[in-house]
Structure 1
């Protein structure tokens, strides 16, 4: 593609989302540079340029942005609202000053302005800041990650108890998305700098309820699976043990906001998006069939 950048900086590269973006960008052919914290392992090896530093260090960001055509921005999971704004402003300013031609911001979740939730409001404010002070930009707002269903806190319950537990009401329809498809959307956005200024809600090809997902999983994992809508209080308590009190409260608040919306708030109409960013996203069933659920559940026989 003539418009595809020759070089791309990927932030958050060592995380699940960032590493998927790195893989997708490498497959597309440009030179890929990643920002990795000092002392952290290099999971990429030959073929990826490494700049040591982080989003809190404007000097290292200026170096990372030097000579690259585009930036694929993903912020750290669990970043506080203050960190979202500080990190995002730092990279936007470094990219603008470095002559970056396009910034693609993966918001790592649904964003609505004036939601009253600290994390979403910070991301909405950051989007406005990037549009005003950063280079030309495209914003991608994914729904929920399919990998949440296969996480260590989810897969064992599916396999051992036949329960798919998630903090969404039973009737909520969600266009779940895989990390690989999210990365494919990033690559397609990088191919289309003429779309600068646009924002896209991205998700999978189907809007499924929890019970519908449970039926699909029942046919894949070899046992009947039922859906359990986890109460928000229980969800927040479980998160606190993993993320700490502040991050848990912020995440739970975002889910509480989702609960207050229409049941289709996370159901994405991909019609126009697909015309502009031609990605064919993976269905939940196809994604689930490709996994080794016994291994994900920690079953000894899978070892």
Structure 2
């Protein structure tokens, strides 16, 4: 029996695959390219387009880690339905799904478009109805976003951390490494089900993040809020214009809220005993 890790060469899946491999767990890396090499793992070329292939991959698996790729929402809906159909048919022992920042819990209004018809909600609801043991990791924002070229260049060259959240807006930031910690714990802790929110609690502001950069670099870094559409426009060639516009719209909606903090009741701190990395701790492991 093995652990199937979607996107095992990407930002979210790679840390999960590495953590499981380090724990001497058998890992199968699910990637789109047959020639990919993942240290310590078997590689299976598969994507989200075929429910039959997904079913074959999931059958007999000890665990499945899944998250939806950045793509047009119509495609993501298809991927979500295919994954749900495969899980219902194959019935792996455990599924851990990361929402990649989308909100599926019902406590509060996130300002995000996570309706019943969103791909993330379709997958989360499908898991809940499948009868398969599962948990949903619900982060807010990723610290790795601060390494985007249009962010880190301003930090290093100008001493200005620019991001598309208002000044003093507090959010529960987390690293991809924190998601990996939660995923590996949830594969073991089958008693924990439903949504597990991962991120800093209490939440932190852009000014707090700038202070962490100041400490790391040994010089002053200030925070500057930017317009979301202006911020994400340069990323359109990388992620696609439709996806970039949709993410910008989400940030506009989020910015209208008082904050974007996780709640203590569903936090990884309470449910799993995990303490996410602070921005300073995360930066200590980053080569700037």
Same fold (TM over 0.5): yes
Any conservation in 1 of the 2:80–2:119 contact (CA below 8 Å)? no
Structure 2: 5+ residue stretches without partners:
none
Contact 1:165 1:230 in 2 (8 A): yes
Partner of 1:296: none
Structure 2 Cα separation of the partners of residues 65 and 182 of structure 1: 21
Query: Is residue 43 from structure 1 mapped to residue 37 from structure 2 by the alignment?
Result: yes
Q: 1:131 aligns with which of 128, 138, 141?
A: 128
Distance 1:283 1:53, change over 3 A: same
Which is further off, 233-242 or 102-111? 233-242
Runs of 4+ in 1 over 4 A off after TM superposition: 112-116
User: Structure 1 residue 143 and structure 2 residue 140: aligned?
Assistant: yes
Partner-residue secondary structure (3-state), 1:237: helix
* Cα-to-partner distance string for 1:149-183 (whole Å, 9 max, x where unaligned): 12322222101100100000011112211111110
| 1:68 paired residue number | 61
Contact preservation (8 Å) 1:175, 1:207: yes
The CA deviation at 1:213 is 1.6
Q: Does 1:194 align with 2:186?
A: no
Which deviations, in whole Å up to 9, do the C-alpha atoms of 1:38-69 show, x marking residues without a partner? 44x42314x31222221101222122112212
Quick check: 1:84–1:126 contact (8 Å CA) kept in 2? Answer: no
The alpha carbon displacement at 1:206 in A equals 4.8
Which whole-Å CA distance do the structure 1 matches of 2:119 and 2:274 have between them?
28
The Cα of 1:273 is off from its aligned counterpart by: 3.2
Are the aligned partners of 2:264 and 2:270 in contact in 1 as well (CA < 8 Å)? no
Superposed CA deviations along residues 62-104 of structure 1, whole A, max 9, x for unmatched, are 221122122111221x122222222122122222222312111
Q: From the superposition, tell whether residues 71 and 151 of structure 1 become closer, same or farther in structure 2 (CA, over 3 Å).
A: same
Aligned partners of 1:159 and 1:272: how far apart in 2? 33
How much does 1:292 deviate?
A: 2.3
> Which of 24, 36, 41 lines up with 1:29 in the alignment?
24
SS at 2:12's partner residue? helix
Which one of 194, 202, 207 corresponds to residue 203 of structure 2? 207
Q: Supply the distance in 1 between the matched residues of 2:278 and 2:164 (Cα, whole angstroms).
A: 21
C-alpha offsets along residues 83-139 of structure 1, whole Å, 9 cap, x if unaligned?
Answer: 222212212222222231211101111314795637993312321122123623211
Shift in Å, 1:205 = 4.9
Tell me, yes or no, if structure 1 residue 103 matches structure 2 residue 95. yes
| Aligned ranges 1:152-191 → 2 under 5 Å | 152-191=149-188
- 2:46 aligned residue: 53
* Aligned CA distance change for structure 1 residues 121 and 58 (closer, same or farther; 3 Å): closer
Contact residue 206 and residue 283 of structure 1 kept, 8 A: no
Aligned mates of 2:262, 2:87 — CA distance in 1: 33
Query: Is the CA contact (8 Å cut-off) linking 2:198 and 2:276 kept in structure 1?
Result: no
- Matched with 1:8 is 3
Output aligned runs, 1:242-253, within 5 Å.
242-253=238-249
SS in 1 for 2:162: strand
Give the Cα–Cα distance (whole angstroms) in 2 for the partners of residues 134 and 249 of structure 1.
36
Q: For the aligned residues, what is the CA RMSD? A: 2.3
- Provide the aligned length of Structure 1 versus Structure 2: 283
Q: Secondary structure at the match of 1:193?
A: coil
- Give how far 1:270 is off: 6.9
- Pick which of 8-17 and 58-67 moved more: 58-67
Shift of 1:212: 1.9
- Give the direction of change, closer, same or farther, for the CA distance of 1:256–1:272 in structure 2 (3 Å limit): closer
CA distance in 2, matches of 1:258, 1:223: 31
